[in-house]
Each structure stands twice: as C-alpha cells, then as structure tokens.
Amino acid sequence: MRIYLDYNASTPVAPEVAAAMQPYLSDHWGNPSCGHWAGRPAREAVESARAQVAGLLGCKPTEVVFTSGGSEANNHALIGSFLALRARGDHVITTRIEHPAVIEPCRFLERTFGARVTSVGVDSMGRVDPGAIRAAITNRTLLISVMHANNEVGTIQPIAEIAEIARERGVRFHTDAAQSVGKLSTRVDELGVDLLTIAGHKVYAPKGVGALYVREGTKLESLIHGAGHENGRRAGTESALLTVALGRACELAATHLGDDRIKQLRDTFWTQLVAAFGDRVVLNGHPEQRLPNTLNVNFVGAIGAQLLAAMPEVAASTGSACHAGQVTLSPVLDAMGVDPEIGRGAIRFSLGHGTTLKEIEYVVARLREVM
C-alpha cells in the first residue's frame, strides 16, 4: 500500500488536465506566434487557457503572464518590481516565513543592488500582524510581499488588510498564492493585490508551468529578454501544451472551491490523532485560519524524520532536518517560536482530492505502531 499525503509539495496531474494536453502532444504542435494553419490552433489554445486562469482569479486575461512555474513568477514579481521602481527607493518588506522562492530573490536584490529588506516576524500560530507591516513601511519602500497561505503549517495571512495598508501608502503589493490557489478564493480584487503567483504543480497541473497576475498599469522589468512574447513581458515561445494544462487545472479548481470534503477529512485525521496520542501531539499553525488540507503536527518525544522512515509507504514531509544526530527546525517553525524539543517531531500531512478516510485510518494505525 502506498499513501500520498504530500499534496503541498506537488499534486498529481488531474485526469481531465492530462486529457486536455493530449492533442497538443500529437496534433497542435505549431508555434503560437505564427499566423499560419499550424500556429493558429496553438495561439487559440494559449489565449483560451489565459482566460481560464483569469476566470479563477477574477481578472482580465491580459493581466495573466504565463511562466515556467511559481519560482519564476515570484522572481519576476520581486526583481521586476525593484528594477522598475528603484528610482523611487530601495526598500522591500517581506516575512520570515516565506518560501525560498521569495526569500532568495530578496537576498539577490540585497547583494546585487543594495536593496534593504525587512523581514517581519509572525506570532506563535504563524500569522503576520498587519500593524507590523505598517510600522515597517518607509518613504523608500517599493514593494511588500506576503504569502497568502504558508506551505508548511497552512496558516492564512490577512492579505486584504495588508493590501489596504499598502494602497494607503502607495506601495506595490505581491502575494505568493502557490499554496492557496484551488483551496481558497484567490480573486484578486477581493485580496487587493497588485501581483499574485500561481504554480501549476500545486493545482493538479504538471511541473514547469505557472502564472503571474500583473494588475493593469503595474510596470515590471522583464527577466527573460528575447522576441517579446506575453505582450512583451516575458520572452520565450509559449507552450500550448503546458498553458492548456494550467488553464484546465484552474477551471477545475473553481469547481472545487467551497467543497468541504478535504477539510472534513483533515479534521477527522486530527481528531483521531488526539484520541490516539493525547497530549503527545501538538498542532502547528492557526487552528482555524488554515488551509483546509494541511495538518502540521508535532509528535512529542519523537523525531519526525525517523517516524516517516519507519513508514516508507507513507509520503509526507517533516518540519525539521536531521543531520549527524542533530535536529534543526525549519525556518518557519523557528519563526513561530516552536520549542526545538517539541518541533523536532513535526510532520506535515497535506491532503488532496485523492485522499480517503481509509488512508487516514491506516496512517493513524501505523503511527500507533511506530510511536
């Protein structure tokens, strides 16, 4: 038996997405930039996919830029914004719990362009205080980047409230929504963001495709230079195959919003763990303002990596690294102030459309054995 509970790391390609891709593997292989019979179907497919992504975000299709994935979208949002606006300032605000695809571009800007980066902390549940963002803004602040929901513990950030602060101060606002797309509403006008990141392989599309929402009128410096594809915002021949996949995945995601089945399974999982282990399990993240599929748990007195090694049939992620007998907390758990003695037992279980109650019950039984 093999059980997959690592959907926050990567999702399988949905059957409907694979079916949508098939014609672009065999029949519609033309260059979308060409106006002849071979190129036109590919161009139509790319633009149709753009409209599907826009439909999920509640934006104009012209505001969607296809990328190679979430990391490129984050890099384009941060570095592209800094380069476009650096005549106005040099300050960027982010948080201590961001994905490396945000943290590392910020470090690049510091090293290469002398940017000043403020990384705001979080509370014990992983939530950012909007007041801390407000206090960090200076007259040289160009950009704020706060993830919509954390990939490790699932905590949802007060994005709309932070966006209002950014608007008041005339500061551009980006959110990395790689983990929240398809799980929460990500309509850009509700969130109030100027830039938003999507990663295809987090939403049942393949790896190698993503998108960046760019609000109309938001200027970015291009990262990839060439023939001026994507309305001059990103060079490189578009892949009809991959854009069709992302478009169909976003269309499917819209139909799943509001479906509580996965959340109910996650809550059942937690209830069964508490029944089995009592105070030997501790929840990481906000108990309510959390992704509906994410359960990050500390197994007190154990090491998460060792528990998973004893259950090789279960795919999940740990919240700490174990090297040469030393256990180091992840930056996210460290930022939350989790006690290292407790946090070394952290495991992230992330559920998806394929998860069943039988699998949850099996994992709880196996944890009883290995604990």
Annotation says 322 is catalytic: yes
Lookup: tokens for 325: 């007998």
Angle at which helices 261-277 and 357-370 cross, to 10°: 20
- List 34, 106, 250, 322, catalytic entry: 322
**DSSP one-letter code for 157:** P
- Can you tell me the distance from the alpha carbon of 304 to that of 345, in angstroms, rounded to the nearest whole number? 4
- Can you tell me the distance from the alpha carbon of 158 to that of 184, in angstroms, rounded to the nearest whole number? 13
Query: Which CA distances in Å does 261 have to 125, 151, 191, 256?
Result: 24, 20, 25, 10
- Can you tell me the distance from the alpha carbon of 283 to that of 319, in angstroms, rounded to the nearest whole number? 12
Q: Cβ distance 290 to 155 under 8 Å?
A: yes
Please give the span between the terminal C-alpha atoms of the chain, in angstroms, as a whole number. 20
- Can you tell me the distance from the alpha carbon of 54 to that of 60, in angstroms, rounded to the nearest whole number? 6
Q: Which residues are catalytic?
A: 322
